[in-house]
Amino acid sequence: MTVLDWNHHVVVIGEVGQAHDGSLGTAHAFIDAIAGAGADAVKFQTHIAAAESRTDEPWRVRFSYADDTRYEYWKRMEFTAHAWAGLRRHAQDRGLAFLSSPFSLEALDLLRRVGVAAWKVASGEVGNPQLLDAVARTGAPVLLSSGMSGWAELDGAVARLRAAGAGRLAVLQCTSAYPVAPERVGINVLGEIRERYGCATGLSDHSGTIFPALAAVALGARVVEVHVTLSREMFGPDVAASVTTSELALLVEGVRYIGRALAAPVDKDEVATELAPMRALFGRSLVASHALPAGHVLQPGDLTAKKPAGGVPPARLESLLGRRLRRALRADEPLRDGDFEPLGP
């Protein structure tokens, strides 16, 4: 099974969620698109209506043209165990880790049989102790989203997962707004998560852009998750909070670039030595501003700095004022160390 190795490189997750709108074919199309963009994992959501929702669950925002109730929507989003297994095989074949957030114990049991690379606990399930316990007992890695939780609830969830034997843990900063405004992304929280829980941190982003994820990686995030859409003209409530597959590819490229940069700290003195030939091309030397006769005592305005380097460096300009020339200089002629009379006693 493809694993999520956030210890060795930043993991990029393409979140499908409910963007397939109940179409198995569209779900498979998302796998191909996310794999083509170079991501590490694809993530779905597994909903079993009867286990998750009352039949009279109210709409948060009424968006579906096909469903009269929220329960009917969840029902239409269900895939069979056979269908989930096919999605997992397809993801594996494309080199993607397969993830799906369970929204009930029944969904968790289904996914346990199908096989997931790690458990993703959605923001709304952080306060569900029975689900947390069941996730932890598998011993698999856990991605814990924090989009609706304050510190006290998050502290309790992390402690519960660890006490129940959860595997490797990554806590993801998240703000459950679709799309989330820049002022609410909460990139500042990443460092506190890392220090508070001593675990990997990450960002589950709903901004609809690649910028927060790139900033998060630069600040040490080991996991970034973004919602993905095949087109901004697609149907669904998450489109405004999603990146396109071409944007996902750019995000992956940026994450890999930043990862390489962070893994190779630079010694400024060593780089300066390496770039010494460039200094000769881009640096400057002192030259005569105008024709100067032999015996002339150098005054302000007699010398200027021009490219290329290789002669007397501009840093010595002030120390040369008041020195007497041993030879005449043409305008723009570079100075040499032997062009000055010796300093008096």
CATH code assigned at 90 = 3.20.20.70
Same domain, yes or no: 185 and 135: yes
In terms of pLDDT, which residue wins out, 133 or 2? 133
Same domain, yes or no: 228 and 296: no
For 27-65, the pLDDT digits (tens) are 999 999 999 999 999 999 999 998 988 887 776 666 666
Q: Is the pLDDT confidence value at 252 over 80?
A: yes
Q: How far apart are CA 80 and CA 325, in angstroms?
A: 92
Same domain, yes or no: 18 and 133: yes
Domain membership of residue 218 (yes or no) is yes
For 283-330, the pLDDT digits (tens) are 999 999 999 999 999 999 999 999 999 899 999 999 999 999 999 999
Residue 222 and residue 10 in contact, taking contact as beta carbons nearer than 8 Å: yes
Same domain, yes or no: 220 and 76: yes
Same domain, yes or no: 190 and 244: yes
Same domain, yes or no: 332 and 184: no
Domain membership of residue 98 (yes or no) is yes
Q: Work out the percent of the chain whose per-residue pLDDT is above 90.
A: 82
- pTM comes to 0.86
| pLDDT at 92 (0 to 100) | 97
Q: How far apart are CA 246 and CA 187, in angstroms?
A: 24
Domain membership of residue 253 (yes or no) is yes
CATH code assigned at 297 = 3.90.1210.10
* Total domain count, the chain: 2
Identify the domain containing residue 281 by its residue range.
271-339
Strands 303-306 and 285-288: antiparallel
Same domain, yes or no: 177 and 32: yes
Domain membership of residue 6 (yes or no) is no
125, 126, 130, 136 alpha-carbon torsion, rounded to 10°: 110
